[in-house]
Structure 1
Amino acid sequence: MAARPLILYPDPRLDLPSEPVGAFDADLRDLARDVTEALDAAAAAGLTAAHLGVRRRLVVLRPEPGGAATVYVNPEIVERSPERATAREGSVSMPGVSEPVERAATIRVRFHDLDGIEREEAADGFRAACLQHEIDQLDGVFWIARLSRVRRERAVKRFAKLRAQA
């Protein structure tokens, strides 16, 4: 099956919060498979159902290429360290553009797996940045909202130029 197409900035669906998942069923597994296929096709570290235009709180993360994918259903950050870390971020919905973003250095996330079992996970480094980025997307916060106005405008102009050249 071909991967579902990714929605691109400035699609207004990227600014909409996702709805909690209530049913842990075959449809959810199909959605997780579709998100994983799109993640792999885009060679991304993380992807949400929202990137496919589906407003459900589902994240697939594979921060290490070739590593195992983890599915997070209804994830929420329950703890953030006061220490900060900065890493370059971008989005499959705005390919070719990245900027440094500051976030909590370590976090704790509560989520459900595909069987509906509640879990918690501590994350730091790149994994913590990825989780915060993707959970922001589930909340309707596209990554450029975390940039200063000047850097956000620069990123939008750069993406418009890239799209015009395509």
Structure 2
Amino acid sequence: MAILPICKYPDPVLAEKCAEIDRVDDELRRLAQDMIDTMYDAPGVGLAAPQVGRAIRMVVVDTAEDDKRGTPMVLINPRVVAKRGQLVWDEACLSVPDYRADVVRASEVVVEAGDLEGNDLRIEAEGLTAVCLQHEIDHLDGVLFLDHISSLKRAMYRKRRLKQLRRDGQ
């Protein structure tokens, strides 16, 4: 078990379009387990590979209620293939410290992906799981939830974050 450092905005890896994964091996399985451990430790309900500095198309998600957590999904090369409805969700992100915002998302999604055993998955989700899947898959395309809010709110956060980084000597 390894807790990985989480990349924080404005780290350039968070803006990269991630590479497709062409094979699952022991190194990828170890990374997936480390990402799961990191997600639970943070604590969060989802984590994408670029958030731990790896520009590859893998996410881990566990949106179960607290007492039922422990069965995460590991999705390889996930993609949203269908969306329905609309909702507004108060989102936060492990890579965007000290900020939350209302984001408009599809209320239901269908996601296709692979798993660590090479099986094809088709996931139909709604509510929190639908939002989480959209949020994490966005990361694989270099999109943060900040990109879904107004340019004014985004600029205000960016200014505050950069000021904080300068103050912390980073």
Give, as a single letter, the amino acid of the residue that structure 2 aligns with 1:134: E
The alignment's C-alpha RMSD in Å is 1.7
Matching of residues 5-20 of structure 1 within 5 Å? 5-20=5-20
**Residue 70 (str. 1) matches residue 36 (str. 2):** no
Matching of residues 20-39 of structure 1 within 5 Å? 20-39=20-39
Query: Which of residues 125, 135, 138 in structure 2 aligns to 1:136?
Result: 138
Gapped runs of 5+ residues in structure 2? none
Q: TM-score, normalised by structure 1?
A: 0.92
Name the structure 2 match of 1:113. Answer: 115
- Does structure 2 retain, via aligned residues, the 8 Å contact 1:97–1:158? no
Name the structure 1 match of 2:125. Answer: 123
Q: 1:10-29: per-residue Cα shift (whole Å, max 9, x none)?
A: 01110001111111111110
Q: Give the drift of 1:156.
A: 2.5
- Does structure 2 retain, via aligned residues, the 8 Å contact 1:89–1:99? yes
Identical-residue share of aligned pairs (%): 33
- Does structure 2 retain, via aligned residues, the 8 Å contact 1:29–1:114? yes
Q: Give the drift of 1:62.
A: 1.0
In 2, distance between residues paired with 1:71 and 1:107?
17
Q: TM-score, normalised by structure 2?
A: 0.90
Give, as a single letter, the amino acid of the residue that structure 2 aligns with 1:8: K
4+ long deviations beyond 6 Å: none
